[in-house]
Structure 1
Amino acid sequence: MKFELNRAQLKNIALVFMVLDNVWLRFSASFSSMAHLATRFVAPLFAWLMVDGFFHTKSRGHYCRRLWIAAILMQVGNVISFAIFKEKGITDNIFLTLALGFTTIWIFDMAKTTKQHGKKIRLRALAIALTALGLALSIVLYIPLPFGSAIMLEGGLQLIPFILFAYFFHDSKWKQAVAILAYSFLMFFTLYGGIGGVQGFDMFCVNSDWMTFLVIPFMFLYNGNEGRKSSFGKWFFYIFYPSHLWIIAILSVVL
């Protein structure tokens, strides 16, 4: 019997490991660095499912709007968290990364389908500019906000290229896998200096975004089915993600 996972099951697995990673980030002194290493598939899996959803959603406009509203509300919440918790405020906002990624591939898709040459060029230029902005927000661009908060692109250096691979090679999981493997090792050797650039096992675990390739087995386990579907399930991640970050932040302050 072939073992497969549907969309809902993949999300649930990612949610469990997401909580594990964020607990580790706040209480790293109490947990092994392996906890962080084991969760490197989580953000790429959410991004990959988002791209898959891009091709199957009934309304790309509604999907994109949900992501941007969630990103803005999350950013406002982050500012409030810094006002309350000071340096222990929340910096995460995966919604912003996913929203920018979704918008970028949507524009690329519009460029692919339009028959107007001039419009095609303008749309592609805009999509490339958004990609560059995403990478800049991941590496050098830092937009300060009140109380010490800031706009940054969580996991952008890892996820923006990943989202493009998932989109352009959507017709083949094998092509996606090859692109992801190549980019993962490119990150390892250029950003972290290869094996010689990692200082000890703990730093190997912490500087491990290059292990994006851990998402590949989950991609091949996906059977293309939605799984259990409900109105609550549709909105669950949008509620759970900020809620669990606030709970963990509060615990890190009071404990």
Structure 2
Amino acid sequence: MNKIDAFHLKVIAIIAMFLNHVGHTFENVWNPPLWEFTYLTIGLLTFPIMAYLLVEGFFYTRSRWKYAGRLFLFGLISLFPFHYLFEFNWSFFNPINNIMFTLMLGVLMMMACEKVKNHFLQILVLIFFILASITSDWNLFGIPIIFGFYRNHGKPENTRWVLGIICLLMMYLTFPKEWTATAAVEWLSNLGILTVIPILAAYNGQRGYSPNWVKWGFYAFYPLHISLLLFIRILIFHY
């Protein structure tokens, strides 16, 4: 009997996200190949789980516009800490948007797909939103993962195929031009996305523990933890 509910999935995603971001924040301090492997492998759990829960929420939320609006709001709140934690060497006026914007675009993409039932038109919608998310976290891969889960909603057995295809695409597009230890570790760490398959296979489709503080806490954790990591890095390393 499957014993993992939505609350457990959120906890797993939050822990993996935190470890991922700790690795990214301090990758220049620790052994780079080790941290590349650790944070990319563990971190690759986070977005597919969030995408899966996003699709689940899309079909059960009372207002999809409010759903997208909450993601947009927390994306704005996260804008400054995300930029200065991960993209501090970029111009702020040429930013990489955080994961909340990717998820928001995923909701809008699913809303658009519901309006057009034709498969060809849905592919055009998919392409449009991939292009719209190209400067967001998980750029080329985020929207296709959400689309794959959306198209296979109610068919949990197909989750492995969605993630398998995405994994192959990631490995193809990130194939190293020159083989070094770091490049090899980073490339092989793409396989980490496959570890999501058994986790989602154990999902029982239940919400689990879900008071309001859990709902809003899940949103708030994102800007809070990246702000904390940014503060710690500035305090210790002055950048």
TM-score range, shorter chain: 0.7 to 0.9
Pair 1:92–1:248, CA change in 2 (3 A): farther
**Larger Cα-atom Rg:** 1
Task: Give the distance between the partners of 2:110 and 2:76, measured in 1 at CA.
Answer: 20
Task: Give the distance between the partners of 2:178 and 2:191, measured in 1 at CA.
Answer: 13
Across the aligned residues of Structure 1 and Structure 2, the Cα RMSD in angstroms comes to 2.9
C-alpha deviation, 1:198, in angstroms: 5.0
State TM-score, norm by structure 2: 0.82
Report what 1:235 is aligned to: 216
Report what 1:203 is aligned to: 183
Pair 1:226–1:197, CA change in 2 (3 A): farther
Pair 1:189–1:242, CA change in 2 (3 A): same
Task: Give the distance between the partners of 1:121 and 1:185, measured in 2 at CA.
Answer: 23
Pair 1:125–1:185, CA change in 2 (3 A): closer
Match of 2:151 among 168, 172, 175: 168
CA deviation map 1:176-211 (0-9, x unaligned): 311320221132134325xx86532x4344343464
State the AA in 2 paired with 1:74.
S
2:112 is the alignment partner of 1:107: yes
Report what 2:16 is aligned to: 17
Task: Give the distance between the partners of 2:20 and 2:122, measured in 1 at CA.
Answer: 37
Contact 1:93 1:153 in 2 (8 A): yes
Task: Give the distance between the partners of 2:145 and 2:192, measured in 1 at CA.
Answer: 12
Pair 1:127–1:91, CA change in 2 (3 A): closer
Report what 1:61 is aligned to: 65
Task: Give the distance between the partners of 2:122 and 2:201, measured in 1 at CA.
Answer: 32
CA deviation map 1:18-67 (0-9, x unaligned): 11111111112336324212331111111111111111222212211111
State TM-score, norm by structure 1: 0.77
Contact 1:67 1:95 in 2 (8 A): yes
Identity %: 23
Task: Give the distance between the partners of 2:120 and 2:164, measured in 1 at CA.
Answer: 30
Report the secondary structure of 1:38's partner residue. Answer: helix
Report what 1:30 is aligned to: 30
Task: Give the distance between the partners of 1:57 and 1:76, measured in 2 at CA.
Answer: 29
Q: How does 1:65-80 map to 2 (within 5 A)?
A: 65-78=69-82
C-alpha deviation, 1:123, in angstroms: 7.8
| Count of aligned residue pairs for this structure pair | 226
Report the secondary structure of 2:107's partner residue. Answer: helix
2:166 is the alignment partner of 1:186: no
- For structure 1, which runs of at least 5 residues remain unmatched after alignment? 138-151
Contact 1:17 1:39 in 2 (8 A): yes
Contact 2:74 2:220 in 1 (8 A): no
Report what 1:159 is aligned to: 142
Report what 1:43 is aligned to: 47
Report what 2:98 is aligned to: 93
- For structure 2, which runs of at least 5 residues remain unmatched after alignment? none
